Chains A and B, each alone.
Chain A
Amino acid sequence: MSANLLALFYLISGILFILALRGLSSPETSRRGNYFGIAGMAISIIVTFLAAGNFGTGFIYVLIMLVVGGSIGAFIAFKIPMTAMPELVAGFHSLVGLAAVFVAISAFLNPEAFNLGVVGKIKLASLIEMSLGAAIGAITFSGSIIAFLKLRGIMSGAPITFKGQHLINLILGLAIILLIFYLCKSQLSSVFWSVVLISFLVGVLLIIPIGGADMPVVISMLNSYSGWAAAGIGFTLENTALIITGALVGSSGAILSYIMCKGMNRSFFNVILGGWGATDQATNSTTQEQKPVKNGNADDAAFLMKNASSVIIVPGYGMAVAQAQHALREMVDALKKNGVKVSYAIHPVAGRMPGHMNVLLAEANVPYDEVFELEEINNDFANCDVAYVIGANDVTNPVAKSDPQSPIYGMPVLDVEKSKSVLFVKRSLSPGYAGIDNDLFYRDNTLMLFADAKKMTEEIVKSL
């Protein structure tokens, strides 16, 4: 196969990948979009085989590796529970990062195979591209591993901070750049390996200071990095499909990070520099005074909701932890039978990754046209009888609108306090991730339901 024909096929793959993302503009077209993506991938792989034209023993081994990897991937895809999606995505990012590192290493060790020159005399541009690809890939790998461990709960979600942290990161970042310059002059393999090793270290140091609830930003950011790493390798291999995909994924992750940061009204650097919440929590627990709260049970909640004409449900990370989405759906079904209008309100940063709540509700068979984003539904709280807050906290805190001193001031919040009554399912009065007290707990129209989200919802179903 000629190089030109090959390049055209890679271009087709690239276009199919664009169509795959385009399909996600609505749930109806999304499944077709996914098929476009699969087709693009199949074309890329097949034409690469044809171009290599080497169907000897090596080819058999490649097929075996494909089958081994593919079966592991398929097994994970079918087994994984939907609540574990954030850590799955983090885990997958780490694989892309490591694959980028490995490809860069083999390009460095055997540049002839990629037409990049010979060992010790690799083309300057290729050397820069592959070392950048390897560095970003390595950061993506180790960073995603830390994110995975935090999301999985193997590592504490609390931020790990120490003195001079940012200075160390800065020095290491500069060291990577200087080493790449030195690599271009010397072509020494030891310098290349140092770049890779330092990048692994940077990935770890970059993610440990970021707390659990900031994971939506971290995952999006790592998504973006994996794209830039792929693009770097794409330049090295002079492969259009890889360059297009890298750019798509890179910008996709960047946009998601932006949306997540906006959802918290924090700058990207504020999130990345980390350490939020840890300090506030300490000061708040001492100043917290005892204020009266209204305490209710499942029967009260059932009575209130049964006699309401409209109910808005506000799910949060606590719903995912308690796996309460199915019980919630049953409760909504029972309410609908009583003629109550029910809708769901999703805050952009609810959960541990973008769109986390939507997937869980979809899993519980909640139709997606009953689920609304913050801007779409926020005005409806004023006309709604009951807001049922399940596992959410900071995203409902009215203090974000009223108190300029509060760390979450300016963050867009759901106006649940405007509804006639608020039912708050929570295990205790403890503050949320931001470490601040939620004023909503003490309002006259708030009824606190102290229990596990799933148990409480199931009990409400029973008394309905």
Chain B
Amino acid sequence: MEIDPFIFRLSIFILSIFVGYYVVWSVTPSLHTPLMSVTNAISSVIIVGAIIAALAGASENIFETSSIFGFLAIILAAVNIFGGFLVTQRMLQMYKKKKK
């Protein structure tokens, strides 16, 4: 009997939920805002799907409907990736310890 690859992906998914659960509980409450902006940035890894969609069209016809949606998704995800990581960095830079 062969195991459906879907089951493997489902296993990864469920284990990641557990990893996420424990990792996020260990985040200090004072960094909850950076947590939101960074999770927002990393969820834009959806850009890989957008790139595949955009490059799927044959080179003579790159602007099929499906690739146009891909291109649009690339713009949206790129705004998020750069915006998300940079604003997180900007915030984290402000957290300083007491000078002694």
Binding site for B on A (CB under 8 A): 10, 13-14, 17-18, 20-22, 24-27, 30-31, 33-34, 37-38, 40-41, 44-45, 48-49, 52, 54, 56-59, 61-62, 65-74, 76-78, 80, 82, 85, 88-89, 92-93, 95-96, 98-100, 102-103, 105-107, 109-110, 112-114, 125, 219-220, 223, 226-227, 230-231, 233-253, 255-256, 259, 346, 348, 353-356, 358-359, 362-363, 365, 367-371, 373
Contacts and interface: CB of A to CB of B under 8 A. Distances in A.
A45 B76 contact: no
- Dominant SS at the A interface? helix
Given A74-B86, A220-B36, 11 more contacts: A25-B27, A37-B41, A69-B79, A69-B81, A70-B82, A76-B87, A98-B76, A99-B46, A100-B46, A107-B53, A255-B21
Nearest to B64: A110
Contacts of B54: 58, 61-62, 65
Given A41-B85, A237-B48, A247 B13 contact: yes
B78 to A, nearest CB: 3
Given A98-B76, A103-B70, A251-B17, A52 B52 contact: yes
Nearest to A22: B23
A59 B5 CA distance: 30
Contacts of A252: 20, 24, 35, 39
Given A30-B31, A34-B89, A113 B66 contact: yes
A255 B17 CA distance: 11
A124 to B, nearest CB: 11
Contacts of B76: 69, 95-96, 98-99, 102
A96 B36 contact: no
Given A106-B73, A249-B43, A367-B96, A69 B49 contact: no
Contacts of A10: 48
B80 A242 contact: no
A21 B19 CA distance: 10
Contacts of B42: 17, 20, 37, 40-41, 245, 248-249
Interface string B63-100: 01111011111111111111111111111111111110
Contacts of A230: 43, 45-46
A89 B40 contact: yes
Q: Which 4 A-B pairs have the closest CB atoms?
A: A69-B78, A113-B56, A355-B32, A73-B83
Contact of A242 (B24, B46, B69): B46
A242 B49 contact: yes
A251 B75 CA distance: 26
A235 B51 contact: no
B39 A227 contact: yes
Interface centre among A99, A238, A246, A353 (most CB of B within 10 A): A99
A99 B95 CA distance: 32
